[in-house]
Amino acid sequence: MVLRSAPVYRSHIARLRGGRGEYMAVAESVEARSQSEEAYLRILERIVCLDMAPGSVVNEARLREDLKIGRTPIREALQRLARENLVRSIPHRGTFVTDVNVTDLARIT
């Protein structure tokens, strides 16, 4: 099954990199963010950097273990990513990373 999605937008990259091309802005001020926001940013980073391959299944249990964040914040982050067409949830099948237009991604970065 091939999943199609909207391209990764500049706002995703700018938000991920703090708007200045630096990841440090994301890593700082963890306490100031909610766990849902933290999960969102860290999963977004994995998607944009292609650490989570397009079309791959999102394993919530592994994300909880890797990110050291609970189930509810992970699910809230995935719902937000679904609204932004970066993941797609299919009932009784799972959540999948949507395809990313690599040409657009290369141009943005």
Q: What is d(CA 24, CA 53) in angstroms, rounded to the nearest whole number?
A: 23
Round the average pLDDT of the chain to a whole number and report it.
78
90: three-class secondary structure by DSSP: strand
Query: Any residues with CB less than 8 A from the CB of 2 and at least 6 apart, and which?
Result: 55, 99
For residues 31-58, give the mean pLDDT. Answer: 91
**pTM for the structure as a whole:** 0.66
53-104 per-position pLDDT tens digit: 999 999 999 999 999 999 999 999 999 999 999 999 999 999 999 986 766 5
The CATH code of the domain at 10-108 is 1.10.10.10
Find the helix or strand (DSSP H, E) in which 103 lies.
helix 102-108
Q: What is the dihedral of CA 101, 97, 54, 13, to 10 degrees?
A: 50
Q: What is the pLDDT of residue 17?
A: 52
Q: What is the pLDDT of residue 48?
A: 87
Which residue did the predictor score with more confidence, 79 or 11?
79
Which residue did the predictor score with more confidence, 96 or 2?
96
Which residue did the predictor score with more confidence, 45 or 14?
45
**Largest CA-CA distance found in the chain, in angstroms, rounded:** 40
Residue for token pair 């100031």 = 32
Find the helix or strand (DSSP H, E) in which 89 lies.
strand 87-90
Q: What is the pLDDT of residue 33?
A: 79
Cβ(75)–Cβ(60) below 8 Å: yes
Q: What is d(CA 97, CA 89) in angstroms, rounded to the nearest whole number?
A: 9
Question: Which pLDDT band, with edges at 50, 70 and 90, does 18 fall under?
Answer: low
